[in-house]
Amino acid sequence: MASHSTPHQNSSTGQIWLQPRNPRRLWAALVLVALAIAPGELGRVTRSMMVDAYMAVSVFVAATLLIFYTAERRFGVSLPSLMGQARWAQVPIAAALGALPGCGGAVVVVAAYGTGHVGFGAVVATLTATMGDAAFLLIATRPDAAMVLLPLSFAVGIASGWAVDGLRVAPPAAASIHPDHMTPRVGALRRRDIAYLGLAIPGLALGVADLANIAHPSWLPTTLVQAICLGGVFLGLAIWASSQLSAMSNRHDSPLTRVAEETSFITVWVIGAFLAYEYAAAFFGLELTVLFQNIAPLVPMIAVLIGFIPGCGPQVLVTTLYLNGVVPFAALVGNAISNDGDALFPAIALNPRAALLATLYSGIPAVLASYGFYLFFPNFLN
């Protein structure tokens, strides 16, 4: 009987691993590659934005996730069990996990709620505190703003969680779902994961040098720098296009696999946000700064409402607009507090009513904080 390879096999078995499990992802990846190799100004702008996204965000995301997931695997700590024993400290711990860059910490808290380890206040705290994947972009490009916004979100998350617990407004509990059932396993460590890390290591060195304004040495030509960065981008696109994951990886997979999968996912959204802004300015002549200035009082509320959209893509776009001076810091504050990142997806799967209420509750402090900065500190960190 002929044998058939499975998605969990290594590429060493001869499997053609670029399988269109999600055809829309495959087409999106192919469009991005086509834009990058296009002749003239279109290709030049696209390649430049891809290199910027890789050096400024992707390599730092990969380094952070590698440290986090390696430590998690090494020490084998069960955070849900620890939180279940914390009682009054559940909310601060949940807010701290939410404030971590990315969505992993918030997903842990949401999973702990689904298994009955933590209360509803912890869910509100983590969803309020999280900035999702947009935090990586902000830390890498505007660390001064991140040093203000992340502690602020953490404090607001604690206050919101304790307020919800104190008012006893938790929805009825839903049926428990084991957190391991939320995301499929990829399986054994793959060659593509090792290759991704192999490109990310020199990419990280280039990114650090770029942040420190250190010029590339004469023996390192610009074409090689671009080749490393674009190689990492294209490999990430292939991993993302063939991935069976929605966003988050399974904790039982290899740390290298988790890094490759999640960094690739984040990179696609960052590239999309970068290109959307750059194309609008370079090819369509859209003066976004003037547009938002004409509706300035509504901008913080628009950013808060965008935060209600599940996922990290829209939030990365808001952060990109802030980095380019299109929206003020007040709008970024509102979006960071109201957005739940990818953690909202498992929350909806576990308990749709709880997910909706937690999102709406996070909108209240988001509006207050956003308009507080808009009215009293209009030029802060702009």
**Rounded-to-integer distance, Cα 308 and Cα 310, Å:** 6
DSSP class of residue 311 equals S
132 backbone dihedrals φ, ψ, rounded to 5°: 70, -155
Going by pLDDT thresholds of 50, 70 and 90, the confidence category of residue 226 is very high
Work out the angle at residue 233's Cα, subtended by the Cα atoms of residues 230 and 239, and round it to the nearest 5 degrees. Answer: 140
Instruction: Please give the pLDDT value at position 155.
Output: 97
CB contact burial 339-358 (16+ within 10 A = b; e otherwise): bbbbbbbbbbebbeebbebb
Residue 262 pLDDT more than 50?
yes
Going by pLDDT thresholds of 50, 70 and 90, the confidence category of residue 286 is low
- DSSP letter string over 251-282? TTS-HHHHHHHHHHHHHHHHHHHHHHHHHHHH
- The residue among 351, 265, 365, 262 whose CA lies nearest residue 307 is 365
Residue 310 pLDDT more than 50?
yes
Residue 235 pLDDT more than 70?
yes
Residue 106 pLDDT more than 80?
yes
For residue 164, what are its two tokens? 């919800």
Instruction: Please give the pLDDT value at position 91.
Output: 92
Q: In this structure, which amino acid lies at residue 309?
A: I
Q: Which residue has the tokens 């279109």?
A: 42
Going by pLDDT thresholds of 50, 70 and 90, the confidence category of residue 361 is very high
Mean pLDDT of all residues in 274-291: 72
- This prediction has a pTM of 0.75
Residue 51 pLDDT more than 90?
yes
- Structure confidence by residue, pLDDT tens digits, 141-184: 899 999 999 999 999 999 999 999 998 887 876 555 555 556 67
- Structure confidence by residue, pLDDT tens digits, 362-381: 999 999 999 999 999 999 99
Q: What is the mean pLDDT of the chain?
A: 84
Work out the angle at residue 153's Cα, subtended by the Cα atoms of residues 294 and 344, and round it to the nearest 5 degrees. Answer: 90
